[in-house]
Structures are given as C-alpha cells and as structure tokens.
Amino acid sequence: MKKGVNAWIYPSKFTVDEVLEASAEIGFEGVELNLDEKSLKFSKKRRREIAEKASSLGLELPSLCTGLFWKFNLASPEEKVRKKGVEIIKKGCEFASDIGSRVLLVVPAVAVPEIPYKETWRLAKESILKAAPAAEDYSVILGVENVWNQFLYSPLEFRRFIEEINHPYVKVYFDIGNIHFLGFPQQWIRYLSDLIVCVHVKDFLRSERQFKPLLEGDIPWPEVMKALREINYEGFLNVELSPYPGHPLKAAIDSKAALDIIFKM
C-alpha cells in the first residue's frame, strides 16, 4: 500500500505546483488532485506540465477527485443536469489520462425526496453506463465512492449496484471515514474486496458525529489495515482532510505522521 494525499488538505490558494512540492517534501508517495469547472478546461500543455512536475518530484498521480457530482447529480430528476454530470465524467477521464491517473472518483447519485429510490438507482446506473465507454477508451477506472448521499448505505447493496453495472471500468472508491458512521469499515472492505481500486482515509468520532484528523477518532485502524491486507489491496490510501487554519502545511504533516503509524498496525 502507498501513502497519498488529496489536494484539499492544503489552502485553496495553493497552486498545483505548490501542492505537489509540499506533498513531496512532506514525504507522500502520491497526490490526488481535484477538478472543478475551471481546472477541467486546462489545456493539454498544462496537463502535461502537471504530469512532468509530479514525475520530477518522484510523485504518482494515482487518482482524480471532484465535488462537481453534488452539483451535477447523476440521478437528478432533470435530464440536462444528468447529462452535464455524464459530460464531466467523460472530460474527467480525458484529464486523468493526460496526467497518468488510473482512477476518477464518481459520486453515483444524490438521492432527493421527489425521486423514488428505485428510480434513483436506475438513473444513476444509466448515467454511469453512458460514461463507461469513455472510461474504457481512456483506460481510466470510474471509482464509485460511498458518500453521505442517502444512497447505497450497505455493503451488499453497494456491491450489487456495481455488479449490475457490470463494466470492467466501473469499480469502487472506498472511503473509510465516510462509512464509520454507518457501519464497520473492515466488514465493507472484506465484502467489496476485489472491487476496491482506491481508498480515502480520514478519521471519525462517533460520539461527536464528526470527522477528525487521523488517529483522533475511533476508527479501528488495526482491524481496517488487517482487512486491506487480507484482500491484497496494494493501492493508495489518500488522506482527505481540510487544512488547519493556523498553518498551511500542518494538517498534511500530521496526516503523513499518522499514516506512518497506521501502516505499521
């Protein structure tokens, strides 16, 4: 397994180069960049520069993340919103391919009260299947992430959803912190096993119902790491946290130190 970090751990004013330089200096092996509507329009030249910069620093760019699927819901009741979400996947796959990323994170749906659950399921599947050929063309895996979206809240259901899509380029992006409030991450890991292509890490304290820096919550990390080793997961554990207000690098520094401890569990 490898130690990675999501770029959101740094202040929003950081440039991509600053994110990469800081991550390399702190000792991470990879960086997960984040796409917004502005960065999606980066030129091929700029994307090539990002890949070259990462390579020069000895960093991998294993995956791409985005918050755009909350705005452009793949199971929206509005067809034009769903269509935009599908286009974002396609453009994200092109971007990922250009910088050498293997996985694009996808939020499959954001459930809403006016749409029956079965219809949310159908629309989410339909949208992902429309984008899957582009993923295959670019050799980028769509990593469907478990998030707080009122959808796919059990490991059996999550696996069934992916299996019904039944596409070699649609797998699971597993978020350990997101699941701790709903269940037991080690159980999800064992059940989703072969479908997991990337992992987000952050801690969570159930008594406060809040996300926490690594090792400041009550996630059973020894059991989680044991489960990951049992399924022979060899990919990245990407820290996904916000920066501390007092110092731009402290959250990343603390997270790397915590990952070093977790990896020995």
Q: Domain spanning 2-262 has what CATH number?
A: 3.20.20.150
CB atoms within 10 A of CB 117: 11
Under 8 Å between Cβ of 142 and 96? no
Strand partners for 141: 103
Q: What is the pLDDT of residue 221?
A: 98
Under 8 Å between Cβ of 70 and 107? yes
Per-residue pLDDT of the chain (265 residues; tens, 9 = 90+): 999 999 999 999 999 999 999 999 999 999 999 999 999 999 999 999 999 999 999 999 999 999 999 999 999 999 999 999 999 999 999 999 999 999 999 999 999 999 999 999 999 999 999 999 999 999 999 999 999 999 999 999 999 999 999 999 999 999 999 999 999 999 999 999 999 999 999 999 999 999 999 999 999 999 999 999 999 999 999 999 999 999 999 999 999 999 999 999 9
Q: How far apart are CA 7 and CA 54, in angstroms?
A: 13
Q: What is the pLDDT of residue 65?
A: 97
Encode 185-199: b = buried (16+ Cβ within 10 Å), e = exposed.
Answer: bbebbeebbebbbbb
Q: What is the pLDDT of residue 43?
A: 97
Chain center to CA of 1: 16
Q: What is the pLDDT of residue 186?
A: 98
Query: What kind and span of H or E run contains 173?
Result: strand 170-175
Q: What is the pLDDT of residue 5?
A: 98
